[in-house]
Structure 1
Amino acid sequence: MARQRKKKGRPVSGWLVLDKPRGMGSTEAVSKIKWLFKAEKAGHAGTLDPLASGILPIALGEATKTVPYVVDGEKVYRFTVAWGAETATDDTEGAVVKESGDRPSRQDVEAILPGYTGTIMQKPPAYSAIKIDGERAYDLAREGEAVDIPAREVRIDSLVVVNHEDGRTTFEVECGKGTYVRSLARDMGRELGCYGHVVDLRRTVVDPFDEEDAVTLEELEKSAAEAEADIGDGDDEEAAMQLRLQARFAALDPCLLDTGEAMHGYPSIAVSGDQAKRIRLGNPVILRGRDAPLPTEDACAFERGRLVAIGEIAAGEFRPRRVFKI
């Protein structure tokens, strides 16, 4: 019988809403948070380009089971487009490939916005993380290969001008998953006949999380360093290290949001302790009373405010699909 590998890290769970700094990739950010919290498992809900700053929700432990629900949530971005040039990457990192001396007025820009709201077809940038035959599109593009990504359907609920001056326009967009802001800049620039590329990009919302929930990496590192500094070296180096880690976790863990926060807005039921035990064993529970929720594919069961499971409500029962540890 094969020996089971010992898990590395501690079984900490919850959501850390990181205000990701510009210049850092999403994978790097997740690795940094996982290291700070010494977590067994970590993942993020929606890639944010290194060029971009803002909300990057990072799930630890059991919270990783709720990642798909956050990925499906509404996103809000604020971004600035510089008119007059299109780049290979549709942002400031790529070489200029097309130029124009024309600059649109605010009225010109606002006139085309209705064509970019609702359900639209959008062609992702060549420099994107989309896989083509198992390879990332940006890797192929950097190697000089021609990258042709088919247009795909995306949903844009709102696109408005926030500011317009000096050949630049700042927008705010509310959109669904899979929307590329860089593609919006490219396509609007082409329609206006002046070209354009993104020079600043910030994500302010990944529903249900927003900037009020966010903490910066600098704040986390400062809290960890101050907590560890209060612990002396002592004669036992191993014991001192463990005390420093405990002090770090005591300082950082309050920054985590409960796993159940990710399911805000989904139908929910409150269950008793006995019902929670049944659900954690994978068994359904009968829902009684006139306040029982209507049938739905995605609902949550909570015991005293703690997420027990995600499942469906059908035929008067809650049927668990994803169960969460205490």
Structure 2
Amino acid sequence: MHGWIIIDKPLGLGSTQAVSAVKRALREAGVAKTKVGHGGTLDPLATGVLPIALGEATKLAGRMLDSDKIYDFTIRFGEQTSTLDGEGEVIATSDILPARAEVEGVLPRFTGPIEQAPPMYSAIKIDGKRAYDLARAGEEVEMKLRSVTIHALDIVAADANSATLRAHVSKGTYIRSLARDIALALGTVGYVTMLRRVKAGPFTLDQAISLDNLSVAARDRALEQLMLPLTAGLDDIPALPVTPDEALALRQGKVLIGKPHTGLLLAMEGETPVALVESSGPEIRVVRGFNL
């Protein structure tokens, strides 16, 4: 099996646990041992789109990590927690509860290229140790600013003490940090009470399945019906038709000459993906080959 199973990750489950659930489903369905990986970590307190790569699609998991994501998230104003979500202790409070119009008013300041400090409770390594391990040990952690891009940021709903937003963000963006900084810009404090990923790269919630449905499909030996093809993770890459001889050359890692294109392409022999290739002028070189 070579392709993608898109999981709608439930609350409280880690990404590696979701991978384990897919591995169990594959075993239950009688599928031969298959390499499995995920295309982008989701915190246990986050839900939503988690692409799980199978077989040769695992070669594209790194590319999925680099893709844009879209999140829905709710900021609760008036309190800030140590973890910037509902798991931590309250470390700051404020009586200021901004109105919807005030929230809308600051959003342009957080749209486009911005710099943000990641949460102390994150998996970033500092001197070889995870930031969250240092934070839990009570050590002072200095989180360096990082550059990210917020492509779009819109308000979805608001009530007396919270606002729900939708953010289209670049890789490396921390929604918890974004929520913290929006609250601070409003002269108050806040933390994330709900975080749901609705899109990861080309994959959306419409394609995502629950772990319960995954288990049912495994028992019915119908997992292949849930799997998207390997090429589903490359919908934004133009196809490059190649002949059987050219496909053989690419599989051997050779450079093709004589097909003037530019940029990243997906070499296809008929309906079979051969390789992800990079074209510069007349030369086409393999970036990632597929054993299909």
TM-score range, shorter chain: over 0.9
- In the TM superposition, residue 163 of structure 1 has moved relative to its aligned partner by 0.5
Higher mean C-alpha deviation, range 32-41 or range 200-209? 32-41
**2:198 is the counterpart of 1:204:** yes
| Distance in 2 of aligned mates of 1:197 and 1:78 | 14
| Distance in 2 of aligned mates of 1:108 and 1:115 | 12
- In the TM superposition, residue 211 of structure 1 has moved relative to its aligned partner by 1.1
Query: For 1:47, what is the secondary structure of its paired residue?
Result: coil
- In the TM superposition, residue 139 of structure 1 has moved relative to its aligned partner by 1.5
Aligned positions, number: 287
Query: For 1:153, what is the secondary structure of its paired residue?
Result: strand
Higher mean C-alpha deviation, range 82-91 or range 188-197? 188-197
Greater RCO structure (CA 8 Å; 6+ sep): 2
**2:277 is the counterpart of 1:283:** no
- In the TM superposition, residue 141 of structure 1 has moved relative to its aligned partner by 1.2
**2:163 is the counterpart of 1:163:** no
Larger Rg: 1
| Distance in 1 of aligned mates of 2:287 and 2:102 | 50
- In the TM superposition, residue 140 of structure 1 has moved relative to its aligned partner by 1.5
CA contact (8 A) 2:97 2:160 kept: no
1:18 to 4, 7, 31: 7
Query: For 2:155, what is the secondary structure of its paired residue?
Result: strand
CA contact (8 A) 1:286 1:318 kept: yes
The answer for the alignment partner of 2:107 in structure 1 is: 113
1:61 to 55, 62, 79: 55
The answer for the alignment partner of 2:73 in structure 1 is: 79
- In the TM superposition, residue 20 of structure 1 has moved relative to its aligned partner by 0.5
| Distance in 2 of aligned mates of 1:161 and 1:127 | 26
Query: For 1:103, what is the secondary structure of its paired residue?
Result: coil
Query: For 1:299, what is the secondary structure of its paired residue?
Result: strand
- TM-score under structure 1 normalisation? 0.85
Equivalent AA in structure 2 for residue 126 of structure 1: M
1:295 to 240, 245, 262: 262
Query: For 1:31, what is the secondary structure of its paired residue?
Result: helix
| Distance in 1 of aligned mates of 2:74 and 2:205 | 19
- In the TM superposition, residue 76 of structure 1 has moved relative to its aligned partner by 0.4
4+ runs of 1 displaced by more than 6 Å?
none
Q: What are the superposed Cα offsets for residues 15-41 of structure 1, whole Å, 9 maximum, x if unpaired?
A: 111110011001111122123224432
1:100 to 94, 97, 110: 94
Which has the larger share of strand? Answer: 2
| Distance in 2 of aligned mates of 1:301 and 1:189 | 47
- Structure 1: 5+ residue stretches without partners: 1-11, 228-247
| Distance in 1 of aligned mates of 2:143 and 2:238 | 37
| Distance in 2 of aligned mates of 1:213 and 1:68 | 20
2:216 to 209, 212, 222: 222
The answer for the alignment partner of 1:263 in structure 2 is: 234
CA contact (8 A) 2:99 2:160 kept: no
The answer for the alignment partner of 1:237 in structure 2 is: none
| Distance in 2 of aligned mates of 1:315 and 1:106 | 52
Aligned pairs (5 A) from 1:139-158? 139-158=133-152
- Structure 2: 5+ residue stretches without partners: 28-32
- The alignment's C-alpha RMSD in Å is 1.4
The answer for the alignment partner of 2:21 in structure 1 is: 32
| Distance in 2 of aligned mates of 1:285 and 1:162 | 49
CA contact (8 A) 2:45 2:195 kept: yes
The answer for the alignment partner of 1:321 in structure 2 is: 287
| Distance in 1 of aligned mates of 2:281 and 2:100 | 55
**Identity across matched positions, percent:** 44
| Distance in 2 of aligned mates of 1:72 and 1:113 | 24
